[in-house]
Amino acid sequence: MARLRSGNPVSRWFIGFFGSLILVSILPKTVSLLIRRMAGRVLAEALAIVLLGFLSNRLPPRSGRRW
């Protein structure tokens, strides 16, 4: 495997520190947006299943077999 040079410790600290700040500031917004989208999809799917079940119970039973 190729060995990576460690580089300047100040630049590594700078990238790590500000990268962590950016991650902490962006991550909660991203997670909440994903949860909202996923919750909306799950609720829409559950509502569709309930409505289809309700409508299928209201259909009159078929008389005889149709092949």
**Where are the domains positioned within the chain?**
29-57
Q: For 35-39, what is the mean pLDDT?
A: 89
User: Is pLDDT at 31 greater than 70 in this prediction?
Assistant: yes
Distance in angstroms (rounded) separating the CA atoms of residues 40 and 44: 6
Tokens of 23: 């991650």
Check pLDDT > 60 for residue 61: yes
Dihedral (Cα; 10, 13, 15, 18), 10-degree rounding: -120
CA distance 35 to 13: 32
Residue 61 — φ and ψ, nearest 5°?
-65, 145
Q: CA–CA separation, 58 vs 67, rounded Å? A: 23
Which pLDDT band, with edges at 50, 70 and 90, does 9 fall under?
confident
CA distance 47 to 28: 28
